[in-house]
Amino acid sequence: MRTFRLVIACPDRVGIVAKVSNLLATYNGWITEASHHSDNLSGWFFMRHEIRADSLPFDADGLRTVFAPIAREFGMQWRVSDSAERKKVVLMASRESHCLADLLHRFHSGELDCEITSVISNHDDLRSMVEWHGIPFHHVPVDPKDKTPAFDEVTRLVNEQQADCIVLARYMQILPASLCEEYAGRVINIHHSFLPSFVGARPYHQAATRGVKLIGATCHYVTKELDAGPIIEQDVVRISHRDNVEDMVRLGKDVEKMVLSRGLRYHLEDRVVVHDNKTVVFA
């Protein structure tokens, strides 16, 4: 069913839900899903509504037009998206294939409602797997002595494809701050630890040295600060003293795949609202 998704964040006060609901009822808007959250610490209110597109007498632009006065009245940060307009996604990966293969399978089976425009990699190892799915593969090597030309090309490719979202599916390079800022809130990463623990490289080795009993994975938005962006989704798996680093890597890969796919799906369905460095996720 085609729906319009209305997502709102604003300072909390009485009457927000009533005003929005009355507006939609005025135009016979049929709400199929409604989610609200009031954050007592920040004093902000968050809301996500899905409205049947065929119940309204106008398109998404029409909904934006009639809703704008309410948004101004309440000082809202807001957006309206159309479920019929599939988001364009660029995937990036290095040599590890498990997260990329999982996303490609979910896309191929229709589980992810998006358009994967290409895969960009700093290695050529995964080309055949990607091209089997009929998706363009771009090999952009990164010279450790001068990374600027590579990331200039990455930026060109992403802009050329008019990407709505970039997914780092175990892409083992740090994106430049300029790209993070240009695509703020639209670059999703999977980090193979339960952040904020074990930031940076070799987190499974860090976890083994620390002797933890749980390892996890974190899907988060990318910022210029390493592994410190707003967290979208996390999960863990239990380990014991019997598990070595190789066991932890094997167990962790399953968690990484699930966490990344869930986080990406929440983003594609406009279920994530970023406020400061935290998220509200209407899962």
100-158: pLDDT as tens digits: 999 999 999 999 999 999 999 999 999 999 999 999 999 999 999 999 999 999 999 99
Q: Where are the domains of the chain?
A: 3-82, 87-281
Q: Quote the pLDDT of residue 109.
A: 94
Q: Which fold has domain 3-82?
A: Alpha-Beta Plaits (3.30.70)
263 pLDDT band, cuts 50/70/90, is: very high
Encode pLDDT of 18-47 as tens digits. Answer: 999 999 999 999 999 999 999 999 999 999
Its pTM stands at 0.96
What is the architecture of the domain spanning 87-281? 3-Layer(aba) Sandwich (3.40)
**Contact of 3 with 53, CB cutoff 8 Å:** yes
DSSP secondary structure string for all residues of 37-57:
EEETTTTEEEEEEEEEGGGSS
**Residue 18 to residues 22, 23, 42, 114, 146: CA-CA distances in angstroms?**
6, 9, 22, 33, 56
How far apart CA 93 and CA 100 sit, in angstroms, is 7
What is residue 2's predicted lDDT score, i.e. its pLDDT? 98
Q: What are phi and psi of 140, to 5 degrees?
A: -125, 90
Residue (of 256, 93, 98, 87) closest to 186 by Cα position: 87
Angle value at C-alpha 282, between 85 and 118, nearest 5 degrees: 40
When pLDDT is averaged across residues 8-17 and rounded to a whole number, the result is: 98
Mean per-residue pLDDT over the chain, rounded: 97
Tell me, what's the pLDDT at 266?
98
Residues designated as active site: 227
Half-sphere exposure in the Cβ direction for 194 (13 Å, CA):
14
Q: How confident is the model at residue 230 (pLDDT cuts 50, 70, 90)?
A: very high
Please tell me the predicted confidence (pLDDT) of residue 61.
98
pLDDT for the residue numbered 220: 98
CB atoms within 10 A of CB 85: 11
